[in-house]
Amino acid sequence: MRYGVLGTGVVGQTLGSALVRSGHEVCMGARTEQHAGSVAWAAEVGDGASTGSFSEAARFGEIVINCTAGVHSLAALDAAGSGVLSDKIVVDVANPLDFSGGFPPRLAVDEGDSLAEQIQRRFPRSRVVKALNTVTASVMVDPGSLPEATDVFICGDDADAKLAVTELLTTWGWEHARVRDLGRLDQARATERYLLLWLALMGTVSSPDFNVRIVRAEDMA
């Protein structure tokens, strides 16, 4: 498959590298065609990795992954262009957190809304899936780096798009049953707001390398 990865930060680089390792081709998109971060990433990864503008990366990808900072995601996707994104799966990994007022941050979306829904409204012909935003980048692509199987959450309005994302996650080692489909895209309100707890926990456990494992009474032996 060909993936367009929008964003050159740790999340974009980690996902991009993992996709190439899985045998996919990745174009990493940035605000400028010759972005220092993406060019360095592509040089390091080698075959299968390329770079371009947001628009070029989105055009390249059969699936587009939004790895930009949440407060800039709509601008990045606008730069990619609605025509280019039309009918494509857009995996939204971003978190709309506003740290301008200090810690803890505030959500940068209104109550009763989410970044994923904003993207879906702006690009109604795209198929937005919210996923992976509840774990740090290294855990996204290597859940086996944690000593127990943990849970990850997806939601979206297109069942086929969610299936495609679920399959991608299982190739990275996520247990199929622990890719929890929360339902429609409005559940992104829940996973985006969970980031406040994730940040608090990161402070409490002194590391971003953690995740939650859902424990159910009915799993009692």
Output the CA–CA distances (angstroms, integers) from residue 4 to 12, 26, 48, 60, 91, in the order listed.
Answer: 10, 6, 12, 6, 10
Binding status of residue 161 toward a second copy by CB under 8 A: no
Binding status of residue 71 toward a second copy by CB under 8 A: no
Smaller CB distance to a second copy: residue 39 or 201? 201
Report, in Å, the least distance between residue 196 CB and a second copy: 4
* Site track for a second copy across 194-213, x = CB under 8 A: x-xx-xxx-xxx-x-xxxxx
Contact yes or no for 38/17 (Cβ under 8 A):
no
Which two three-digit tokens encode residue 81? 């262009």
- Bridge partners of 64, per DSSP, are 4, 90
Binding status of residue 187 toward a second copy by CB under 8 A: yes
Binding status of residue 170 toward a second copy by CB under 8 A: no
Between CA 3 and CA 62 the distance in angstroms is 6
Contact yes or no for 76/6 (Cβ under 8 A):
yes
* Site track for a second copy across 113-152, x = CB under 8 A: --------------------------x-----xxxx-x--
Report, in Å, the least distance between residue 17 CB and a second copy: 19
Assess whether the previous peptide bond of 104 is cis (omega < 30° from 0): yes
Which two three-digit tokens encode residue 116? 């994923």
Contacting positions for a second copy (CB under 8 A): 101, 104, 106-107, 110-112, 139, 145-148, 150, 153, 155, 180-183, 186-187, 189-191, 193-194, 196-197, 199-201, 203-205, 207, 209-221
